[in-house]
Amino acid sequence: MPVRHFDIAPTRALESVFDMARADRNRPFWAPELETLDRAALERLQVARLQKTLARARRSPHYRRVFRASGFDPKSFASLADLPRLPFTVKDDLRSDENFPYGLLTVGKDRLVRLHSSSGTTGRPTAVFHTRRDLAAWTDLIARSLWMIGLRPGDVFQNMMGYGLFTGGLGLHYGSERLGALTIPAGAGNSRRQIALMKDFGTTALHIIPSYALRLIDTFHEAGEDPKSFKLRLAVLGAEPHSDAARKRIEDLFGIRAYNCYGLSELNGPAVAFECPEQDGLHLWEDSYLAEIVDPETGRALPDGARGELVLTNLNREGMPLLRYRTRDITSLRSAPCPCGRTHRRIERITGRTDDMLIVKGVNIYPVQVERVLMRFPELGSDYLIVLATINHLDQFTVRAELKPDAFHGDLHELEALRRRIADELRGEILVSARIELLEHGSLPKPEGKAVRVEDHRER
Ligand code: ADP
Ligand code: ZN
């Protein structure tokens, strides 16, 4: 099949997309020709798109410098095996004085139509630009992902992510509109109003940060409402690491199916990878992103199935394509075929960023490992905080967890026994002894965006 054919896919006339969605709501794929492309053809497409991307990258001041300094000649690129010769791009390349804000652009500013920015979880935010075509391609990937989990015209999609510079809001918004679902731009926060919107307009699908979903249950209870009596049936969970146990809890509490959506602003935003109905790993859209897993310490490639840092290259972006971008997100890549029929490889649930990893008494710990254990205890609510301190020159690891409102009946022995059981299970998982502090329901801070799981007060 000629590769050229695919270059027009994202710019398909909108009307024909809508007609397709209305005409055949039972078809399993949004873009069958791309989602089920056989591996050899998919790799050919990747190489062709990468060659094009490299040619574009030469127009950016940053990549021109990188190519010159490293001796990498973009014209010499012939196969994916040539990739490791290309230097990595890191977050600091985007925010260095030399590059910020326009140094990675490959087009004139007059071609740009949108600015996004990462939420700045880890330092100075980065500026990311999109052309009209970039937005069309990204929107199409989101529509593809939402279609995959069963969203259809007639669904009511309540987007509870922050609108604005954060990509979770506008990104999913345009994707769900493109698919043809009635889209409610609810934005983040204001829990009572969120519930009223769900009730009044018969919301069937949510896009929500998982820690917020778990918290919203309290507001349902306070309002005397049960989400299971609503029309909800789907949720897209994204923006932060969460355990499978947290997902299950959300599914049970809301009576829905919930799917994991991964992405980052630098590479476009949400829907770099998305869980399919199998709920067993996230398909990474390999027609648009080239994925590698490397050892975070050495940068060396790791084999299939090994956990390491995800490195991504944009394959279908014109304004600001990034090459071999170090995401700092830890996962692994699996090439086993998926029963859903999509040929794009799957990544595992993200454990966290390399910078989320805590080294406590010499042991590496990710906050989601703690979450996984806490979620096993029905007595516990869903919020927790890890607090690190230095006591007598030693690391002290404390986990503060909230009790469910009705979990404590005044029996201190029972409470002490629970504390001990949690500490034991936690030691089994993370191999470090933790002090467990059980708190009254609602006493931990509740940020509106991504959850904050760690306070590190250790002396350095
Ligand atoms: P910031 O980097 O400032 O948080 P972004 O909004 O671009 O801004 O966040 C992207 C990051 O969020 C990813 O690199 C990843 O660490 C995290 N993230 C996004 N989606 C998921 C997900 N489904 N699971 C785990 N982590 C996620
Ligand atoms: Zn699948």
User: What spacing in Å lies between the alpha carbon of 88 and ligand 2's midpoint?
Assistant: 29
Q: What are phi and psi of 233, to 5 degrees?
A: -140, -15
Q: What is the pLDDT of residues 54-110, one digit of tens each?
A: 999 999 999 999 999 999 999 999 999 999 999 999 999 999 999 999 999 999 999
Helix and strand numbers (H, E) in the chain are 13, 21
Mean per-residue pLDDT over the chain, rounded: 93
Report the share of the chain in percent with pLDDT over 90. Answer: 88
Q: What is the mean pLDDT of residues 366-390?
A: 95
Q: Is the CB of 118 under 6 A from ligand 1?
A: yes
With a cut of 80, say whether residue 14 has pLDDT above it: no
Q: Which residues contact 52 (CB under 8 A, 6 or more apart)?
A: none
What is residue 3's predicted lDDT score, i.e. its pLDDT?
A: 43
What is residue 20's predicted lDDT score, i.e. its pLDDT?
A: 64
> pTM value?
0.93
What is residue 9's predicted lDDT score, i.e. its pLDDT?
A: 45
What is residue 34's predicted lDDT score, i.e. its pLDDT?
A: 96
Neighbours of 165 (CB within 10 A): 17
What is residue 30's predicted lDDT score, i.e. its pLDDT?
A: 95
* Cis preceding-peptide flag for 87 (omega within 30 of 0): no
Nearest residue by C-alpha to atom 11 in ligand 1: 264
d(CA 66, CA 415): 59
Q: Is the CB of 350 under 6 A from ligand 1?
A: yes
Task: Give the atom of ligand 1 at the shortest distance from the alpha carbon of 118.
Answer: 8
Q: Are 1 and 41 in contact (CB under 8 A)?
A: yes
Q: What is the mean pLDDT of residues 132-147?
A: 97
Q: Is the CB of 119 under 6 A from ligand 1?
A: yes
What is residue 1's predicted lDDT score, i.e. its pLDDT?
A: 42
Q: Is the CB of 241 under 6 A from ligand 1?
A: yes
Q: Note the ligand closest to the C-alpha atom of 327.
A: 1
Which stretch of 161-175, 326-340, 428-442, 444-458 has the lowest confidence by average pLDDT?
Answer: 444-458
What is residue 449's predicted lDDT score, i.e. its pLDDT?
A: 84
Confidence of residue 124 (pLDDT cuts 50, 70, 90): confident
**One-letter amino acid of 342:** R
With a cut of 80, say whether residue 123 has pLDDT above it: no
Long-range CB contact pairs, 259-262, < 8 A, 24+ = 259/149, 259/234, 259/235, 260/349, 261/145, 261/207, 261/236, 261/237, 262/238, 262/329, 262/347, 262/350
Is residue 257 helix, strand or coil? strand
What is residue 390's predicted lDDT score, i.e. its pLDDT?
A: 94
Pairing type for strands 352-353 and 380-391 reads unpaired
d(CA 235, CA 254): 9
Pocket test for ligand 1, best of 264, 284, 354 (most atoms within 8 A of CB): 264
With a cut of 50, say whether residue 367 has pLDDT above it: yes
What is residue 15's predicted lDDT score, i.e. its pLDDT?
A: 56
Residues 20-37 as b/e (b if ≥16 CB within 10 A, e otherwise) read ebeeeeeeeebbeebbeb
What is residue 312's predicted lDDT score, i.e. its pLDDT?
A: 98
Q: What are phi and psi of 129, to 5 degrees?
A: -115, 150
Q: Note the ligand closest to the C-alpha atom of 240.
A: 1
Angle at 370 between CA 366 and CA 374, to 5 degrees: 160
Where do the H-state alpha helices sit in 237-289?
244-254
With a cut of 80, say whether residue 448 has pLDDT above it: no
With a cut of 60, say whether residue 40 has pLDDT above it: yes
Pocket test for ligand 1, best of 115, 128, 262 (most atoms within 8 A of CB): 262
For residue 229, the number of C-alpha atoms closer than 13 Å in the C-beta half-sphere is: 8
Alpha-carbon dihedral of residues 421, 423, 427, 430, nearest 10 degrees? 120
d(CA 268, CA 262): 11
Q: Is the CB of 120 under 6 A from ligand 1?
A: yes
What is residue 6's predicted lDDT score, i.e. its pLDDT?
A: 47
d(CA 403, CA 437): 10
Environment of ion ligand 2 (residues, CB < 5 A) = 276, 278, 338, 340, 342
Nearest to 299 by CA among 308, 290, 289: 308
What is residue 16's predicted lDDT score, i.e. its pLDDT?
A: 61
Q: Is the CB of 260 under 6 A from ligand 1?
A: yes
User: What spacing in Å lies between the alpha carbon of 207 and ligand 2's midpoint?
Assistant: 20
Pocket test for ligand 1, best of 311, 331, 347, 350 (most atoms within 8 A of CB): 350
CA 123 to each of CA 119, 196, 205: distance values in angstroms, whole numbers, following the listed order: 9, 36, 33
What is residue 23's predicted lDDT score, i.e. its pLDDT?
A: 62
Q: What is the mean pLDDT of residues 207-217?
A: 95
With a cut of 60, say whether residue 316 has pLDDT above it: yes
The residue with greater pLDDT, 355 or 113, is 113
What is residue 24's predicted lDDT score, i.e. its pLDDT?
A: 84
User: What spacing in Å lies between the alpha carbon of 261 and ligand 1's midpoint?
Assistant: 10
With a cut of 70, say whether residue 238 has pLDDT above it: yes
Burial class (CB in 10 A: 0-12, 13-18, 19+), 244: middle
Q: What is the mean pLDDT of residues 426-451?
A: 92
DSSP state string for 278-331: T-SSEEE-TTTEEEEEE-TTT--B--TT--EEEEEEESS-SSS--SSEEEEEEE
Nearest to 239 by CA among 206, 271, 283: 271
d(CA 338, CA 344): 9
What is residue 447's predicted lDDT score, i.e. its pLDDT?
A: 80
d(CA 129, CA 116): 6
What is residue 407's predicted lDDT score, i.e. its pLDDT?
A: 86
Confidence of residue 122 (pLDDT cuts 50, 70, 90): low
Task: Identify the sign of the CA torsion 418, 420, 423, 429.
Answer: negative
d(CA 222, CA 231): 19
Pocket test for ligand 1, best of 121, 250, 453 (most atoms within 8 A of CB): 121
Q: What is the mean pLDDT of residues 368-392?
A: 95
The residue with greater pLDDT, 122 or 273, is 273
Confidence of residue 7 (pLDDT cuts 50, 70, 90): very low
Task: Give the atom of ligand 1 at the shortest distance from the alpha carbon of 260.
Answer: 23
Q: What is the mean pLDDT of residues 229-235?
A: 98
Pairing type for strands 435-439 and 394-403 reads parallel
